[in-house]
Amino acid sequence: MVSRGGILANVATYAAAVLIAAFFLVPLTWLVSLALRTPQEIFFGASRFIPENPTLDNFGQVLRDRGFLNYLWNALKLSGLGALGSVIVAAPAAYAFSRFDFRGRGVMMMAILAVQMVSGLVILIPLYRYMGWLGLLETHVGVIAIYIAIGLPITVWLLKTAFDGVPIVLEEAAAIDGYGHFETFLRITLPLASPGMASALILNMILNWSQFLVPFIMLSRDAQWPISVAIYNYAGSTTASTTHLLAAACLITILPAILAFLLLQRAIVSALTAGAIKG
Amino acid sequence: MAPVSLVSLGKAFGSIEAVRDIDLEIADNEFVVLVGPSGCGKSTTLRMIAGLETISRGELRIGETVVNHLSPGERDIAMVFQNYALYPHMNVAQNIAFGLRHRNLSRAEIKAAVLDAARLLDIEALLDRRPKALSGGQRQRVAMGRAIVRRPKVFLFDEPLSNLDAKLRAQMRIEIKRLHQRVPTTTIFVTHDQVEAMTMADRVVVMNNGVIEQVGTPLDVYNKPATRFVAEFIGSPSMNFFDGTLEAQGEDLVFRIGNGRALPVPRARGSAYSKHFGKRLTLGLRPEALSVSDASDFTIEVETKVVEPLGVETIVYFDLAGHPASVRAAPNRAPRAGETVPLSFDMTFMHLIDPEDGSVIPY
Ligand SMILES: Nc1ncnc2c1ncn2[C@@H]1O[C@H](COP(=O)(O)OP(=O)(O)O)[C@@H](O)[C@H]1O
Ligand SMILES: [Mg+2]
């Protein structure tokens, strides 16, 4: 039995969901439409939304391009190493938050989350100077270091949830079996928390993959760019005769992130909300 | 295989004293059961022995060594937890072998030890399985296998049977005892279930509110409880208690209960109770010290309230002088609920309790 108010609320929810979906899906379908066109059809613009002679040639052409593959590789390297770094650096902090009952624990968890709220834009200029001072401008190491730092807050939270899911009694059993703290962590806690850690790793990779600002200001040499920066630069210099290629490149770029998210959707959502229900 | 000594052991969590003044000498290979209601400090005591909880006060010795500051691994103990605490990412064989890895044993030696333990517990067929694929009883056995494979100095059990159904619990009780006979090892077993305590223990340690109330053999604590708490906690159905006064009646002693009836006190108790004439006391009588019969020369009529047939015997509940009470009856001679029946009292089993400090007056 659904009350009338309930029906109205449902309709409103669906209407909002449709609007939000349209907001993201319209540009995406437009991109698909462009990527499947021949150069001639590009000139029809929106008047011929479904191309008459759809073609996959654009994708082939982009994927054969040495430069494009290099951008993809750069993006993979930066986001992968950045994510791995975040997880490694966050793990000890998350473990301490999960296992040790110290004063100010709740406040510190909140403080870490507060850092997450600070927009990257705000700190961009000091960060740039700082990186310059460290001599890390124009290096992948510098970009990775920033990715690690940016990813830390949410990673600490996600890993704390993952560690919370490992019963303390298992660590006690290992202690009785003669294992020290660190060995217990490596042999018991870490493997049992690994699904949660994998989710954190992939979520970080997706976030890093879509990073634009940081590599844009840090890297000026074409050969070092990740795909996000490269596409932006090409979009600036694009002509109608290359639009179809750019669209194909864009699709190829967002595809890994979408695929990763769809595959791991359940794991990620449960990792993000795990603490929410239990409180 | 080592004696264990607890000397004035105490544990405080912040300002809360969870356990105080625990003095206990456990002999080599003895099977000791700590029993008491939930929250009385059994687990805390056991965890101090295991090294999972720091010791706030007192001294703990295993064998000749003071182990207060040794890590759990250095104490050479093994523990079986209530929820088994099996490592979910390892199969049964790996679970059992996990505690052996630190012992400089060859692969073959480890394998032999695991097989040995598995055979002892009848879980050879399960060695390749993950804990997830085991029943509660099987997990229990694996947890015991993990403990036994190391041949530790002391076995610790924290309510290991409370997650099992009644039938399996009774079966595992016997198996743990048999295991103890085959692999004699000092064992400290924690439970809130007095039946487990009575059936398994060489000696029972009854705890309440963080202190030991009494230590003794199962029959000791049953027949000669030191305090009202022990008298009430051990035995099912519980001991009956009647408030009243101890009075002299000519040559004899009587205990006068609330409704004015005077129950005769055996002459043998006279000297033990002489200091307590005229005092308000509590009489304790187990349900088997009463009987539904008019055979004796002293009976009281009561109206039965509830009748519980258990097969081997029937428990009859009634009120006497404002106190709820019960009596064991033979099933073929049990009254129906609501019937008025005569009760006989065998006062040779009586206990007198000082209500001020809850102690049972010794006799
Ligand atoms: N880590 C702890 N922090 C604070 N109090 C505790 C802790 N562990 C146990 N206690 C308290 O100590 C008392 C004894 O607990 P416990 O030993 O677990 O009882 P039992 O095992 O007999 O049920 C309880 O009142 C419990 O609340
Ligand atoms: Mg307990």
B4-229 is a CATH 3.40.50.300 domain:
yes
Q: Rg of chain B over CA atoms, in angstroms?
A: 25
Residue B339 phi/psi, 5-degree rounding, is: -75, 150
Q: Do the domain assignments include residue A27? A: no
Check residue A11 and give left, alpha or beta (phi > 0: left; psi -120 to 50: alpha): alpha
**Atom 1 (ligand 1) nearest CA:** B13
Closest CA to B46 of B88, B16, B82: B82
- The CA distance from B6 to B27, in Å, is 12
A178 and B77: CB-CB below 8 Å?
A: no
Chain B contact set for A191 (CB, 8 A): 89
Q: Do the domain assignments include residue A90? A: yes
Number of separate domains in chain A: 1
Least confident of A47-51, A210-214, B30-34, B214-218: A47-51
* Extents of the domains making up chain B: 4-229, 240-353
What architecture does CATH give domain B240-353? Beta Barrel (2.40)
- The CA distance from B35 to B203, in Å, is 11
User: Is the shortest distance between the CB of B145 and ligand 1 below 6 Å?
Assistant: no
* CA of residue B191 to ligand 2 center, whole Å: 8
Name which of B78, B88, B101 is nearest A176 (Cβ-Cβ). Answer: B78
pLDDT (tens digit per residue) in A16-66: 999 999 888 888 888 888 888 888 777 777 777 788 888 888 888 888 888
Residue B82's pLDDT is: 92
Least confident of A93-102, A242-251, B34-43: A242-251
* Cβ atoms of residues B254 and B263 within 8 Å: yes
Output the CA–CA distances (angstroms, integers) from residue B125 to A259, B117, B122, in the order listed: 42, 12, 8
pLDDT (tens digit per residue) in B165-192: 999 999 999 999 999 999 999 999 999 9
Q: What is the pTM of this model?
A: 0.84
Residue A66's pLDDT is: 85
Q: Do the domain assignments include residue A25? A: no
Residue A193, domain CATH: 1.10.3720.10
Residue A36's pLDDT is: 87
User: Is the shortest distance between the CB of B18 and ligand 1 below 6 Å?
Assistant: yes
Q: What angle do CA B175, B204, B232 make, to 5 degrees?
A: 115
The count of C-alpha atoms lying within 13 angstroms of the C-alpha of B330, restricted to the half-sphere facing its C-beta, is 3
Q: Do the domain assignments include residue A113? A: yes
Name which of B73, B83, B146 is nearest A175 (Cβ-Cβ). Answer: B73
The count of C-alpha atoms lying within 13 angstroms of the C-alpha of B180, restricted to the half-sphere facing its C-beta, is 22
What is the residue range of A148's domain? 59-273
Q: Do the domain assignments include residue A7? A: no
A156, β-bridge pairs: none
Q: Do the domain assignments include residue A163? A: yes
User: Is the shortest distance between the CB of B205 and ligand 1 below 6 Å?
Assistant: no
pLDDT (tens digit per residue) in B316-332: 999 998 899 999 999 98
- Return the ligand number nearest the Cα of B83: 2
* CA of residue A259 to ligand 2 center, whole Å: 48
Q: Do the domain assignments include residue A20? A: no
Q: Which atom of ligand 1 sits closest to the CA of residue B11?
A: 12
Residue A3's pLDDT is: 67
Q: Do the domain assignments include residue A162? A: yes
Model confidence at A269, in pLDDT bands (50, 70, 90)?
low
Instruction: Please state the ipTM of this predicted complex.
Output: 0.89
